[in-house]
Every structure is written in C-alpha cells, then in structure tokens.
Amino acid sequence: MSIALKELWRQPQRFLPVWVALTLLVVLLVILAGFLDGLSRSQTGPYRAYDGDVFVLSDDANLQVQRSRVSADALTDQGLDDVADVGFLDAAFTVAAVEGTATGNTSSDNSDDGTNLQDVALYGYSMSSSVLPHAPDAGEVVVDKQLTRQIDVEVGDRLVLGPSAEPMTVAAIVDDLSAGAPTLWVNGDEWRRLVGTINPALLPPSGQHLALIAQPGADIKASTVVEQVDQIDGLEAADVADMIGALSVVQQQNATFTAIIGVTFVVSLLVVALFFALITLEQTRLYAVFKALGATTRELLTGISVQAVVLTLIALAVGMAISAVLVAALPPTLPVRVLPTRLLEVAVGLLVTSVIGGLLTARRLLRIDPASSIG
C-alpha cells in the first residue's frame, strides 16, 4: 500500500531506530555466517582437494583419517570398473619455517620460535586433482596459500621441516587447503622419510596408508563408488561431503555458529515485532481513522508488512556493504569466508523474520476500534 511507503519516505526519522538495528544485525549475521563457512573451510582443505572423489578408510576408523590404516592394494583386484584411478593420502602434524629463520634449538631464541616456526599439516599423496599438481619430486614440497599468509614464502624458497630441520624446496603454491593449519604436500616416499625423522611412531606399517582415494570414472557418481567400496570387507568409503560432515571439529563449529545465528534471527524478530508494536500503539488513533474511512485490518497489516520488507531490504543493502568493507579490513589469517549462497540465506531469512515480526501486530491492529476515531 503506497500510504505505508509514503509514511516511510516522509517520516524516516521514526523508522531510523529499527533500521539501524536491522543494519547492525545484518552485519552481525554476515560476519557470523562468514566465520561459519570460513572456519569449516579452514579445516577441510585436503577433502576439498579431492572434490568429487571417494575417500576409502578402514571400517573401524569412523571416517576419521587419523585413525585409519588401509593396505595400499586394498582396492586392486576388486573388480571396481567404475574407478578410474586410485591414490593414497597420509597425514601428520609438524612444524615448518623458512630456511635460516628457524633458530629454535637454543633457549635464548625462544621468541623467534614462536614467530617463525609454523604448525603445519604434512600430507603424502600420489594422485593429482583439479587443485593439486602431480606429486613433487624428492626434496620438493607443494604448499598451500594459507602458509604464504603466515610467513613470507615463494616458489623456489627453501623450507625446513620438523625438529631435525629437513630442508625442502617449494615447488608450487596451491589454493588454500588448510586443515586447521597450513598444509604441505610431498610424495609418499618423502612423507615416510620425513615423518620417520619427526615421529616414527606415526608411520603406518610399510605397505599401508591412512586413506585411499578413488576417482570415479567418467559419468560415474561418487555415490556409486561409495556403495561398491562399502561391500569390500574391512573398508568404509565416503564422499567429500560426508567426510567433512564426520569431522567433529566441523560439527561443533557448525552447531555453535548455527545456534548463534539462530539467536540473532530471534533477536531480529523481537526487534521488528517490538518496534511495530510500539508504532501501532503510537498510531492507534491514526489506524482507527483509517478503519473509520473504510480500511480493513488486513490492509493495515499489509502496510506494516510492506514497511518491514522495505526497511529490511535497505538494511540488507547497507549492512552487506558495511560487511564487505569490514571483511576486507580483517587480517587475512582470520578464517572468514563470505559465500553468495549464504548471503542469500541471510537475506531471505531476515526478510521472513521481519515480515513475521510485522505480522505479530495483527492482534493489536484487530483490536483497534474504528469508533475510537470519533469523539
């Protein structure tokens, strides 16, 4: 109803409080959603590296790579015609630094340890993917972008790994593949050699890996391969989404952030509902006049909904612009990632929330007596 919009344009100061509140809530929601997606992403790089492929673990591992041990030839001679290629994945945590900057073996240099030695996840792999190049040669390492945000490192630089400072040359830098820490990628033999110097106890028995990765053939769905591999004794398979979903850290983060985001939506609902309840109280006389002149409660309610929607749309536009500036200003090491689909969810969620908040005035509007406009 255009009367409602005229009220909005001509008396903007009356709507300023709720508009400001909504704008701040948009910023909060976008940042929270950004952390939700950023944190989850920062834990799941190795899975995203093999997007579309199938992870094969031992069936007692509960889809946790660290707990799994699989024989290297577990998938050979199984007649898996739908599998185009099989690779493996091994993982261990260690530390790394640019050569010459890590002087952490004398006690006087403790402060340097903290700043230059980075926790990293060291992966051994064999199969390239859309993200990962072919496994590098001995003495070479592929690093992900996250490490370059933490220390100054370029292709050709030399890193030292582990307590014995094994020197490695950076062969390539790939997209962010963080797994709670920056990731370094070497070939399988190098991984065994390096982990042997870091902590031999972490080495799987010879001929075994933590996980195998099966690449489905052309036009074959990952789910088909998962079903086939699950038939094999001692193995459990999962696609990337299920692997990520099984990560307890991701589950906890998702649960926490979903709860905070839910509470934020409830707060938005209360803000809008309270505001329009106040407006209605303030304008009881005016609404009574509208009714006396022939307006129905439904028309008044439509007017309030239109106001709620327009206010929310403006708040969304401004709030998202502010969020964009804020996110750009955040240090790159913070795991914030703003996904367009998530923005759409925030927008739709907030619009629905404000319309409901506006509609909560229905009872109040219904009770307004047109007779109170007179006398």
Partner 1 sequence: MSALDLKDVRKVYGDGDQKVVALDNVSLSVADNEMLFIMGPSGSGKTTLLTVAGGLLQATSGSVVVGGTDISGFDGRELAAFRRDRIGFVFQAVNLVPFLTARENLLLVRQFGGGKIDTDARDRADSLLTDLGLADRAGNLPSQLSGGQQQRVAIGRALMNEPPLVLVDEPTSSLDSELGQQVMELLTKEIKSRGLAAVVVTHDDRILDFADRIVQIVDGKLTSDSSDNSSASPSGR
Cβ distance to partner 1 smaller for residue 223 or 296: 296
Q: Name which of partner 1, Mg ion, none residue 329 binds, using a CB cut-off of 5 to 8 Å depending on partner kind.
A: none
**Residue from 285, 325, 344, 348 binding partner 1 (CB under 8 A):** 285
Per the listing, tokens 């080495």 go with 203
Tell me if 108 contacts partner 1 by CB under 8 A. no
Q: Name which of partner 1, Mg ion, none residue 231 binds, using a CB cut-off of 5 to 8 Å depending on partner kind.
A: none
Buried b (16+ CB within 10 A) or exposed e, 224-256: ebbebbeeeeebbbbbbebbbebbeebeebbee
Name the E strands within the chain: 54-58, 70-71, 83-98, 118-125, 140-144, 158-161, 166-174, 183-187, 208-209, 211-216, 235-239
Tell me if 295 contacts partner 1 by CB under 8 A. yes
Taking the C-alpha atoms of residue 256 and residue 105, their distance in angstroms, rounded to an integer, is 39
In angstroms, give the least distance from the CB of 375 to Mg ion: 4
Cβ distance to partner 1 smaller for residue 3 or 325: 3
As separate numbers, helices (DSSP H) first and strands (DSSP E) second, the chain gives 13, 11
In angstroms, give the least distance from the CB of 2 to partner 1: 7
CB atoms within 10 A of CB 45: 24
Tell me if 310 contacts partner 1 by CB under 8 A. no
Taking the C-alpha atoms of residue 101 and residue 115, their distance in angstroms, rounded to an integer, is 9
Part of the chain binding partner 1 (CB under 8 A), chosen from 19-27, 43-51, 274-282, 287-295: 287-295
Binding-site size, partner 1 (CB under 8 A) = 24
**Residue from 100, 156, 205, 294 binding partner 1 (CB under 8 A):** 294
Distances (CA, A) of 241 to 38, 126, 223: 16, 21, 11
| Cβ-proximal residue to Mg ion, closest one | 375
Tell me if 1 contacts partner 1 by CB under 8 A. yes
Tell me if 3 contacts partner 1 by CB under 8 A. yes
What tokens were used for 244?
């990520």
**Residue from 220, 289, 324, 355 binding partner 1 (CB under 8 A):** 289
Subset of residues 356 to 375 that bind Mg ion, contact rule: CB under 5 A: 375
In angstroms, give the least distance from the CB of 374 to Mg ion: 8
Kindly write out the interface string for residues 10-39 of this chain, putting x where it contacts partner 1 by CB under 8 A and - elsewhere. Answer: xx----------------------------
Taking the C-alpha atoms of residue 58 and residue 56, their distance in angstroms, rounded to an integer, is 7
Cβ distance to partner 1 smaller for residue 251 or 296: 296
Q: Name which of partner 1, Mg ion, none residue 336 binds, using a CB cut-off of 5 to 8 Å depending on partner kind.
A: none
In angstroms, give the least distance from the CB of 364 to partner 1: 16
321 CA to centre of own chain: 20
Q: Look up residue 297 and give its amino acid.
A: T
Instruction: Give the SS3 label for residue 60.
Output: coil
Distances (CA, A) of 334 to 69, 259, 276, 330: 33, 21, 38, 7
Tell me if 373 contacts partner 1 by CB under 8 A. yes
In angstroms, give the least distance from the CB of 290 to partner 1: 7
Taking the C-alpha atoms of residue 313 and residue 355, their distance in angstroms, rounded to an integer, is 12
List residues near partner 1 by CB under 8 A.
1-3, 6-7, 10-11, 285-286, 289-297, 299, 370-371, 373-375
List residues near Mg ion by CB under 5 A.
375
